[in-house]
Each structure stands twice: as C-alpha cells, then as structure tokens.
Amino acid sequence: MSSQISPAPPKSLVEVASAGGFLLTEEGGQPIIDAIAKVRKELDAHRKTLDQIDREPYLSNTPGGKFVSEHARLVAAGDEQSLREVLVQVEQVLDDLESGLSTAMDSYQHVELANGGLIEGSSSV
C-alpha cells in the first residue's frame, strides 16, 4: 500500500472556480445570484433588529436580573457560537458563493469566446 500525498483542498469556492474547477453559464448562475440578493435583502431588512442583539437587555438591578441580562447578551452576541457570529458567517458564505459563481460565469464566457475562435479558425482551413 503506497501512501500518496494529495493536494490540500481549495479553501473557497472562488479558488475552485479560479482553478477551472467548474464553469457556469449566465443562465445557470443568475438565478442563484438573484437568490443570494434576496437573502441579503432579508438580512438588511432585519439589520436594526440584529443591532439590538449587541445590547444587553435591561431586566432589573437585582443580581438575578443582571445575571440573566448578561447571559442573554452573551448567547446573542458574546462568542463564536452566538447568533451574531453565525449571521456574520452567513454573510461571509454569501460573499464567497457570489464571488465563486461570478468567477465561474466569467470563466465560462472566456472558454466560449476561445472555443468560438477555434471553431471560426477551423472552418477556414
């Protein structure tokens, strides 16, 4: 049994698309890009509500009220598993997805243009 070292997987969809890992027609990619835009619009519509997540809710000045208030803020925005962080990661995934799709669509256009030139060149031979 031989051990082979395989190359590290690409870190992002942009890297895969840039390396020619996939091509995408405009007809295939545009509906996905439109869906991404809708998700972004929904996130933006709720941005004011999401900004409230960063604030600690006031419950009371009692030790119990202060404890629950701080706990609620930490759950919503206090660490890498909080709702705020998950939403930031969603936006990063959307950015990566959109960039990768755009790159794949551009690559498809370049391949089509190159193939068109080959076809036109071969018909004159």
Residues 12, 97: Cα–Cα separation, whole Å: 8
Residues sharing a CB contact under 8 Å with residue 45, sequence separation 6 or more, in sequence order: none
Helix pair 26-45, 83-123: axis angle to 10 deg: 160
Whether the model pTM is above 0.85: no
Q: Per-domain residue ranges for the chain?
A: 27-117
| Confidence tier at 19 by pLDDT (50, 70, 90) | confident
pLDDT score of 29 more than 80: yes
